[in-house]
Structure 1
Amino acid sequence: MPKPIDPTARLRTSFLAAVVEFREDPDYPLPWFVTDVDPQALVDPAAFDAYVERVLSERDGDAPPRWEGLVPMTTLWWVDGEQMIGRLAIRHRLTPSLEQSGGHIGYDVRPSARRRGHARAMLAASLPIAASLGITEALVTCNGTNVASRRVIESNGGQYVDTVDGKHRYWVPTF
C-alpha cells in the first residue's frame, strides 16, 4: 500500500527512473522538483545522498534559502515498497507569489503511475501533515485546464476561490 515517506537514498534507482519518465512525458510540463535535482546527483550516489540531505534540510526554517522566495518545505515521496510513485511538497507558509500559484501543497505523480488514484491519496495524506504545521486551510492550485487535478482537489474538500493567471485556487480544510 502506497504511503508518504521522507526522501531516502535507498530509493535512488526508482527516483532516477521517475525523473526519466517526467522528462520524457510530452503531455505535462516538467515538474520543478525534477529541474531542481542537482545534476551530479543523477550520476553519483554520494551526490544523490547530499541531494536527499538538502531536500530534508529545507524543512528547517533556519536553513538559508537557496533562492529568493523559497520557504520552509516538507518534501515527501509517495512510495509503494521500493517504488517511488510521486512527490509531495508541503510549504509551511505562503509568499505573495505562492498565494497566486503553488499554494501550500503540491504533488506530482510519475507518468507510469497516473490515473490510479495516487494524486487523490497523496493530497489526502498531506492534509494532516499540513495541520501539524499549523495550517488550518491549505491553499492548493492547479492549471484551470487540468480537469483531473481539479477533481483531486475537490474530492479532498477543496473549495474553489478564483482563477489567477490561468491557475484555479482552492482552500482545502486540513482537519
Structure 2
Amino acid sequence: MPQLVLPTTEVHTSFLEAVHEWRAEGRGGAADNTTLARDMEVYGRRWNDPAAFAAYVRRTIADGHEASPRPMGFVPSTVLWYVTDHTFIGRLSIRHRLTRRLLDWGGIIGYDVRPSARRRGHATAMLRASLPYAHELGHDPVLVTCDHDNVASRKVIEACGGVFEDQRAEKLRYWIATSGT
C-alpha cells in the first residue's frame, strides 16, 4: 500500500523514470515555476549518479530545517515522497509558513503525481495523508491552490474537504481543516 515517506535513495530508479515522464509532458521548462521544476533544473543532470542522488535526498530532507540554505523567498518545507514497493509515485511539499507569494499563488501544500500513476486516487490519498503532518507543523487550516483550469487537482482538493475561498489570477484557493485528521 502506498505511503508518504521521507525522500529515500531506495526509489532512485523509479524516481528517474518519473522525472522522464514529467519532462515528456513539458515539466521543468522555463514556464514551470514549481519546486519540482527548480529541482529538475538544479539537480536533474546529476541524478543518474547514485552519490549525487543521495546528496539530493539529504538536501531535500534538510530543507525542512529552518537553518538550511535555500533560495531567496523560499521557506522551509517538509518534502514527502509517495511510494509503494520501492516505486516512486509522487512528491508532496508542506511549507512551514506562508509568504505573500504563497498566500496568493502556492499555498501550504503542493503535490505532483507522476503521469503514469495518475487517475488512480494517488493525489487524493497523498493530500489526505499529509494533513496530520501539516497539523503537527501548526497549520489549521491549510491553504491549497491549483490552476483554474486543472479540474483534476480541483477535485482532489475538494475530495479532501477543501473549501473554496477565491481566485487570484490563474489560481483557485482552498482551505482544508487539519484538526481531527
Range of TM-score over shorter length: over 0.9
Is contact 2:166-2:173 (8 Å) kept? yes
Where do 1:67-146 residues align within 5 Å? 67-146=71-150
**Unaligned segments of structure 1, at least 5 residues:** none
Matched, 1:43 2:48: yes
Q: Could you tell me which residue of structure 1 aligns to residue 5 of structure 2?
A: 5
For residues 45 and 128 of structure 2, the distance between their equivalents in structure 1, rounded to whole angstroms, comes to 33
Q: Could you tell me which residue of structure 2 aligns to residue 60 of structure 1?
A: 65
Is contact 2:161-2:177 (8 Å) kept? yes
Match of 2:36 among 33, 37, 55: 33
Deviations 1:68-88 (A, max 9, x none): 111110001001111100000
Calculate the TM-score normalised by the size of structure 1.
Answer: 0.94
For residues 157 and 79 of structure 1, the distance between their equivalents in structure 2, rounded to whole angstroms, comes to 23
Gap change, CA 1:49 and 1:26, over 3 Å in 2: closer
Identity %: 51
Is contact 2:16-2:48 (8 Å) kept? no
Amino acid at match of 2:65: D
**Unaligned segments of structure 2, at least 5 residues:** none
Counterpart secondary structure, 2:12: helix
Q: Larger deviation: 163-172 or 33-42?
A: 33-42
Give the drift of 1:43.
2.4
For residues 105 and 146 of structure 1, the distance between their equivalents in structure 2, rounded to whole angstroms, comes to 16
Give the drift of 1:148.
1.1
Give the drift of 1:40.
4.4
RMSD between aligned residues: 1.7
Matched, 1:169 2:173: yes
- The count of corresponding residues between Structure 1 and Structure 2 is 174
Amino acid at match of 1:78: Y
Q: Larger deviation: 30-39 or 140-149?
A: 30-39
Amino acid at match of 2:22: F
For residues 114 and 27 of structure 1, the distance between their equivalents in structure 2, rounded to whole angstroms, comes to 15
Amino acid at match of 1:47: A
Gap change, CA 1:35 and 1:160, over 3 Å in 2: same
For residues 67 and 109 of structure 2, the distance between their equivalents in structure 1, rounded to whole angstroms, comes to 21
